[in-house]
Structures are given as C-alpha cells and as structure tokens.
Amino acid sequence: MKISMTVNGKQYEHDVEPRLLLVHYIRDVLQLTGTHVGCDTSQCGACTVIMDGAAVKACTILAVQADAAQIETIEGLATNGELHPIQRGFWEEHGLQCGFCTPGMIMTTVDLLKNNPAPSEEEIRKGIEGNLCRCTGYQNIVKAIQYAAREMSGTRA
C-alpha cells in the first residue's frame, strides 16, 4: 500500500505492507535508527516519536496509520548542529547512562513541555510514566527535564 508522510520536515513516499509497524518503517526503511525498539509491547517507551504533535509509541502503530502524518524523531531535534534544550538538559544533568531509553524519554518530554512548560517534579514523573529506564533511577532524568523547562521558558537559574 502506498503511503506518504513527513518525517523531520522531509517528505517520504513508499509502498509498504499494511502490517509494517511505524517503528520499523522509521528504522529499517528510512534508516533513522535513533528511535529504538525495547519491549515491542507498548510498555517501555523506547520507540516514542511525535506524531501530529503528540508523543506516541511507534511499536503500536502501523506505518499505514501514519499515512499523511507529520512525524518527528530524535534526529529532527537539533538545529544546525546545535542540540535542542531538552538534549542539552540530558547532557548537562547526566540524564543517561547506556542511552537506550534516551531518545524516547526526550520525545516524550517534547510533548510534556509543550502542554505544561513548567511542570512540578510530580508532573514530570507522571509525564514519563510510559518510559522505562533501567540505568539511571530516573533522578537525573527528572533534573534534565527541569533544566530543559527552565531553558525553554528563558528562566535559566
């Protein structure tokens, strides 16, 4: 089946099998391997991308369901080689260890901060409920998101 979608501002068109998952389309067809597959059962959030403005788990969406959609992946965040404030937050606050969960954590944070630019610690923890990290214990991820929230609202403290 023919589909077309915009990924990180670039238009793509492919003929795909209906059962191809969006995450495999992104990784295997578009070769954008920053989006990870962790559990493949919609629990871990490693496959999170932004679809039409909302964070979603790409292992539980068919590529054909994303026909005509606007998709953003981790590769689309930095502009002209400059890291996005959320990426900077993870860098500055040591928000990752192995890094496997990080792209998904960051894409979820994009949605979280869009709807709530100044979240409390509790709201951050609830916001990333759908993303599992097996390394950090979440403490520094929360700090990374707080850092990003400050940077993005221009109240860098």
Partner 1 sequence: MYPAKFDYVAPSSLDEALRLLSESGGEAKLIAGGHSLLPMMKLRLAQPATLIDIRKIPGLNEIRVDAGGLTIGALVTQAQIASSPEVARALPMLSEAAEKVGDLQVRNKGTIGGSLAHSDPAGDLPAVFLAADGEVIARGASGERTIRATDFFVDILTTALEENEILTQIRFPALAPRTGTAYAKFDHPASHYALTGVAAAVTVGDGGSIHQARVAVTGVGVKAYRAEGVEQALTGRGGDALQAAAERAADGVDCNDDIHASAEYRAHLARVFTRRALATALERAQA
Ligand X SMILES: Cc1cc2nc3c(=O)[nH]c(=O)nc-3n(C[C@H](O)[C@H](O)[C@H](O)COP(=O)(O)OP(=O)(O)OC[C@H]3O[C@@H](n4cnc5c(N)ncnc54)[C@H](O)[C@@H]3O)c2cc1C
Instruction: Write out the residues near ligand X by the rule CB under 6 A.
Output: 42-43, 60
What DSSP state is assigned to residue 9? T
Phi/psi region, residue 137 (left: phi>0; alpha: psi -120 to 50; beta: rest), is: left
Smallest gap from residue 107 Cβ to ligand FES (A):
12
Beta-bridged to residue 54, according to DSSP, are 51
* CB of 7 or CB of 21, closer to partner 1: 21
Smallest gap from residue 26 Cβ to ligand FES (A):
12
Q: In whole angstroms, what is the distance from residue 134 CA to residue 149 CA?
A: 24
User: Which residues lie closer than 8 Å to 22 by C-beta, 6 or more apart?
Assistant: 49, 51, 58, 59, 61, 62, 63, 65, 66, 71
* CB of 7 or CB of 61, closer to ligand X: 61
Query: Could you give the string, one character per residue 61-100, with x where binding to ligand FES holds by CB under 6 A and - elsewhere?
Result: -----------------------------------xxxxx
Quick check: 136 binds ligand FES (CB under 6 A)? yes
Instruction: Indicate which single residue of 16, 20, 37, 152 sits in contact with ligand FES (rule: CB under 6 A).
Output: 37
* CB of 54 or CB of 118, closer to partner 1: 54
What DSSP state is assigned to residue 21? B
